[in-house]
Structure 1
């Protein structure tokens, strides 16, 4: 289920590989590998509950790859930069605490950028299959919205709820918010990510 994604305006040799896991049992081990600087585990390990859509995740990857190509990385590598790119502020440590894998992470979004020729869909699939104990699910909006912690996301991005309108009934999906509300949140989140560093 590892998907290969070619982002627009990015050189074709920098393919992005993405996988989504539920009910991960060994998040603590994965975090340990990152903290130890184990280069075999050079991935963006993201707590999937902090992501609202595929577009949200791909926007972070795009920004990180763009910064990588233009020698503007603020963190150790393009993968840690992907986690940092999700942040609405310039605090790298806070970005890792909020968006990165923690010992309690249950749902995990994994992103890998092919910065070397030996990184292929097959090699990424094999390595993740050997090292992540969890149920792989498709990287699509429906899967992500089943996982998203909307209240946590609103708090991270400091998004206030819209004023309630009289007589306006909401038809909610499985995630508890409507498709329009999700789209509105996504726009605000992408705006916050884009503005980071502009001030």
Structure 2
């Protein structure tokens, strides 16, 4: 796992990694709620931008005392989801007993002790968490399915010829109405949404 930091939140370290050919998903699925990680179905993640947009939103929610889950790690999974239903978010973006590709994520405050190494738990092959690695394995059909609500929203906006400004997109994303970066990828004609999400993570 590699360590990253978001400039707006210097008090937190973000650890992220990608594991493929995972052989013990059933075991991990049974104990995931007790582990200091977010285990995410990698087939639903198409870029680092999508992943870290969810991290950014989770930290925003926490800083304004609007966090709805028990930990920042689980809040990241909720932030990936196009709905506010926590159970549905974990069902769509969390791992299953048959998952073979896992994105592992952990947000750790600088005041906390070092985290347990994910490689000690996962029976799989660790690879660099790059856009190329994510793009080579994500399932577009699955992404469209889990993001159907946002897809329908963008289709309605497109038909009504309502293009969002960058500032409005960021406002909607942070407000939870458009929580996933990759929705902009699915609806090709709304490229501004994609660039807006990029500006959120790079400010």
After TM superposition, give the deviation of residue 31 of structure 1 in Å.
Answer: 1.6
Distance (Å, rounded) in 1 between the aligned partners of 2:53 and 2:144: 18
Contact residue 86 and residue 99 of structure 1 kept, 8 A? yes
How many residue pairs are counted as aligned between the two chains? Answer: 164
Alignment of 1:84-95 (within 5 A): 84-95=78-89
Is 1:21 matched up with 2:19?
Answer: yes
Of 101, 108, 117, which residue of structure 2 is paired with 1:107? 101
Contact residue 25 and residue 97 of structure 2 kept, 8 A? yes
Is 1:69 matched up with 2:68?
Answer: no
Is 1:9 matched up with 2:8?
Answer: yes
SS in 2 for 1:103: coil
Structure 1 residues without counterparts, runs of 5 or longer: 163-180, 195-199
Alignment of 1:73-84 (within 5 A): 73-84=67-78
Alignment of 1:98-177 (within 5 A): 98-115=92-109, 117-120=111-114, 123-124=115-116, 127-158=117-148, 159=151
After TM superposition, give the deviation of residue 128 of structure 1 in Å.
Answer: 1.2
Deviation per CA, 1:48-94, whole angstroms, max 9, x where unpaired? 00111110000111111221222211111111111110000111111
Distance (Å, rounded) in 2 between the aligned partners of 1:182 and 1:22: 25
Structure 1 outlier segments of 4+, above 6 Å: 186-190
After TM superposition, give the deviation of residue 34 of structure 1 in Å.
Answer: 2.2
Q: TM-score, normalised by structure 2?
A: 0.72
Deviation per CA, 1:113-163, whole angstroms, max 9, x where unpaired? 11253444xx44xx2121111111111100001110011101221237x9x
Instruction: Name the structure 1 match of 2:53.
Output: 59
Distance (Å, rounded) in 2 between the aligned partners of 1:76 and 1:69: 14
Contact residue 75 and residue 81 of structure 1 kept, 8 A? yes
Q: TM-score, normalised by structure 1?
A: 0.73
SS in 2 for 1:72: coil
Contact residue 184 and residue 191 of structure 2 kept, 8 A? no
Distance (Å, rounded) in 1 between the aligned partners of 2:7 and 2:186: 23
Using a 3 Å threshold, how does the CA distance of structure 1 residues 82 and 58 change in structure 2: closer, same or farther?
A: same
SS in 1 for 2:50: helix
